[in-house]
Amino acid sequence: MFKEGEDQGLKFTINDSNIQGQGVFPLMNIKKGEFIGYAYQIIGEIGKLNEDTEYIIGQETLLGIMHNHSYEPTAEPKFENKVVSFYALKDLTSENEITCDYNRFNSITNIERVKPEWK
């Protein structure tokens, strides 16, 4: 489990995004493979979907709420001990928006889905 505020403001900030509204950007250089922060807490399972377990998230952090979708993401979500954590897919600087491919969250029922018009 994570504590609210544990990852808030440590490695990222919120700024205007070229993708949609606002997004998440590193405050410092982040190396490929480095932990960025916690995004979601998984609070339950609701069964199987095509052999895969479906999850329900509860608490979201600022990182989880504010990151944008990209088909060329800069971060990878990892499901670890009932928490979804983000890790850098490449070296990031303050110019790189922290994004995930929302399709990676298909096993979470109560999260935003990719819309056809998104790039």
Is the pLDDT score of 5 beyond 50? no
Query: What are the residues whose beta carbons fall under 8 Å from the beta carbon of 7, sequence distance 6 or more?
Result: 36, 37, 38, 61, 62, 63
Q: What is the dihedral of CA 116, 89, 15, 3, to 10 degrees?
A: 100
pLDDT at 119: 62
Average pLDDT of span 45-74: 82
- pLDDT by residue (tens digit) across 66-99? 999 999 999 999 988 888 999 999 999 999 999 9
Place of tokens 């609701």: 46
Instruction: Name residue 57's beta-bridge partners.
Output: 42
Summary mean pLDDT of the chain:
83
pTM of the model: 0.82
